[in-house]
Chain A
Amino acid sequence: MAPPEVHHLFHHPIADHSFSADQNTLAVAKDTTVELYKRGPQGFQLKDELTGHDKTVTGVDIAPNSGKIVTCSQDRNAYVWEPSPTGWKPTLVLLRLNRAATCVRWSPSEMKFAAGSGARTIAICHFEEEDNWWVSKHLKKPIRSTITSVAWHPNSVLLAAASTDGHARVFSSFIKGIDPRPEPSAWGERLPFNTVCGEYMNSTAGWVHDVAFSPSGNALAFVAHDSSLTVVYPSAPEQPPKAIVSVSTQLLPFSGVIWSSESEIIAAGYDCQAYKLQGGESGWQLSGTVATKSRPGAASGHEESALNMFRQMDLKGKTKDDTKLDTVHQNTITKVRVYGPPGQGASKFSTSGVDGRIVIWGI
Chain B
Amino acid sequence: MSVTNWRTINIDALDPDSPYNFDLSTLTPSVLPIASSEVQSTANQIRQLLRGGDGEGALRGALDTAPYGADERGKEIHLAAVIEILQSIRQSEMTPILNRIYGSEGGSEALDVLMKYICRGMAQHSSPGSAVSSPQATGFSQMGSRNLGGGEGSGQMSVLLSWHEKVVEVAGLGCIMRVMTDRRTV
Contact B172 A204 (CB under 8 A): no
Q: Which of B28, B109, B177 contacts A205 (CB 8 A)?
A: B28
Which of chain B's residues 156-183 have a Cβ closer than 8 Å to chain A? 171-175, 177-178, 181-183
Q: Which of B19, B27, B178 contacts A227 (CB 8 A)?
A: B178
- Residues in B neighbouring A224, C-beta threshold 8 A: 181
With CB as the reference atom, state the residue of chain B lying closest to A119. Answer: B17
- Residues in A neighbouring B175, C-beta threshold 8 A: 250
Interface centre among A144, A201, A228, A250, by most chain B C-beta atoms within 10 angstroms, is A250
- Residues in B neighbouring A140, C-beta threshold 8 A: 17
Contact A204 B181 (CB under 8 A): yes
- Residues in B neighbouring A203, C-beta threshold 8 A: 29, 109, 182
**Interface membership of A253, Cβ < 8 A:** yes
B161 → chain A closest CB, angstroms: 20
Contact B183 A204 (CB under 8 A): yes
**Interface membership of B87, Cβ < 8 A:** no
Which of chain B's residues 121-143 have a Cβ closer than 8 Å to chain A? none
With CB as the reference atom, state the residue of chain B lying closest to A163. Answer: B27
Contact A206 B17 (CB under 8 A): no
**Interface membership of B184, Cβ < 8 A:** yes
Contact A145 B174 (CB under 8 A): no
Contact B109 A167 (CB under 8 A): no
Roughly how many angstroms separate A120 CA and B27 CA in the complex, as a whole number? Answer: 14
Known: A144-B22, A225-B181. A252 touches B29 (CB 8 A): no
Q: Which of B22, B27, B108, B173 contacts A167 (CB 8 A)?
A: B27
Q: Which of B22, B112, B184 contacts A248 (CB 8 A)?
A: B112
Contact B27 A248 (CB under 8 A): no
B104 → chain A closest CB, angstroms: 14
A75 → chain B closest CB, angstroms: 22
Contact A225 B27 (CB under 8 A): no
**Interface membership of A49, Cβ < 8 A:** no
- Residues in B neighbouring A227, C-beta threshold 8 A: 173-174, 177-178
- Residues in B neighbouring A144, C-beta threshold 8 A: 19, 22, 24, 27
A286 → chain B closest CB, angstroms: 10
With CB as the reference atom, state the residue of chain B lying closest to A165. Answer: B27
Q: Which of A204, A228, A250 contacts B29 (CB 8 A)?
A: A204
- Residues in A neighbouring B24, C-beta threshold 8 A: 144
User: What string of 1s and 0s marks CB contacts (under 8 Å) between A230-263 and chain B?
Assistant: 0000000000000000001111110000000000
Contact B27 A226 (CB under 8 A): no
How many residues on the B side are at the interface (Cβ–Cβ under 8 A)?
Answer: 21
**Interface membership of A207, Cβ < 8 A:** yes
- Residues in B neighbouring A201, C-beta threshold 8 A: 29
Contact A226 B181 (CB under 8 A): yes
**Interface membership of A118, Cβ < 8 A:** no
- Residues in A neighbouring B173, C-beta threshold 8 A: 227, 250-252
Which of chain A's residues 130-160 have a Cβ closer than 8 Å to chain B? 140, 144-145
Contact A204 B27 (CB under 8 A): no
**Interface membership of A166, Cβ < 8 A:** yes
Contact B178 A204 (CB under 8 A): yes
Known: A166-B27, A167-B27. A205 touches B174 (CB 8 A): no
Roughly how many angstroms separate A225 CA and B180 CA in the complex, as a whole number? Answer: 9
Contact B172 A205 (CB under 8 A): no
Roughly how many angstroms separate A191 CA and B160 CA in the complex, as a whole number? Answer: 53
Contact B183 A252 (CB under 8 A): no
Contact B29 A205 (CB under 8 A): yes
- Residues in A neighbouring B19, C-beta threshold 8 A: 144-145
- Residues in B neighbouring A205, C-beta threshold 8 A: 27-29, 181-183
User: What string of 1s and 0s marks CB contacts (under 8 Å) between B9-40 and chain A?
Assistant: 00000000101001010011100000000000
Known: A204-B184, A205-B183, A206-B182. A252 touches B27 (CB 8 A): no
Contact B183 A248 (CB under 8 A): no
Contact B174 A250 (CB under 8 A): yes
B117 → chain A closest CB, angstroms: 16
- Residues in A neighbouring B109, C-beta threshold 8 A: 203, 248
Roughly how many angstroms separate A248 CA and B106 CA in the complex, as a whole number? Answer: 10
18 sampled A-B residue pairs with Cβ under 8 A: A120-B17, A140-B17, A145-B19, A165-B27, A166-B27, A201-B29, A203-B109, A204-B178, A204-B183, A205-B28, A205-B29, A206-B182, A225-B177, A248-B108, A248-B174, A250-B174, A251-B173, A251-B174
Add 16 more A-B contacts to A166-B28, A205-B182, A206-B178 (CB < 8 A).
Answer: A120-B17, A140-B17, A165-B27, A166-B183, A203-B29, A204-B181, A204-B183, A205-B27, A205-B28, A205-B29, A206-B181, A228-B174, A248-B174, A250-B173, A250-B175, A251-B172
